[in-house]
Amino acid sequence: MPGLDDVTADDFRAALSRWASGVTIVTAAGPVGMTVSAFSSLSLDPPLILVSLARAAATHDPVLAAPGFAVHILEDDQAELSHRFATAQDRFNGLDWSTGPYGAPLLHGGVARIACERHATVDGGDHTILIGRVVQVDVHAGEPLLYYCGAYRGLAPIDD
């Protein structure tokens, strides 16, 4: 039987890359923001979501220090925006955005925006799990941006 130390970081990363996920950007007052693929609903009553924030990210501490944040579920034509928030230093330069609850920037576009107040944080190894209580949602028509095997993807049409 394999031992607890038999799974390497590369093996684990390869397995996780097989999980197709939506792509989000998390923003908070500052303005600060980061691309996040680890996002999930948590509870309907009360309405809670969670995001996993890499501790090594420059925006980790400012997002956690904010009283609230916004999660933007990206649309299939927003791969460049996702890349920008994953890599750029001045992520908001030239972007059109408005201020939402708790001062969180609300980016334009995307299939949904979820504004939250910080509810709790949980240690998650090299990540912090940030739990938010949903205070506002905006839903828009469109197809989501997906990430699978290290590349951005879109949904394939389904024959009815």
The answer to whether the CB of 154 falls within 8 A of the CB of 142 is no
Tell me the per-residue pLDDT of 120-135, one tens digit each, with 9 for 90 and over.
999 999 999 999 999 9
Average pLDDT, the chain: 92
Tell me the per-residue pLDDT of 83-102, one tens digit each, with 9 for 90 and over.
999 997 789 999 999 999 99
Q: Domain segments of the chain: what residues?
A: 22-149
Distance CA 112, CA 48 (A): 15
Distance CA 73, CA 110 (A): 6
pLDDT grade for 149, boundaries at 50, 70 and 90: confident
- 48: burial class by Cβ within 10 Å (0-12, 13-18, 19+)? middle
Distance of CA 13 to the CA centre of its chain: 18
Q: What is the CATH number of domain 22-149?
A: 2.30.110.10
In this structure, the number of other CB atoms found within 10 A of the CB of residue 103 comes to 16
- pLDDT surpassing 90 at residue 37: no
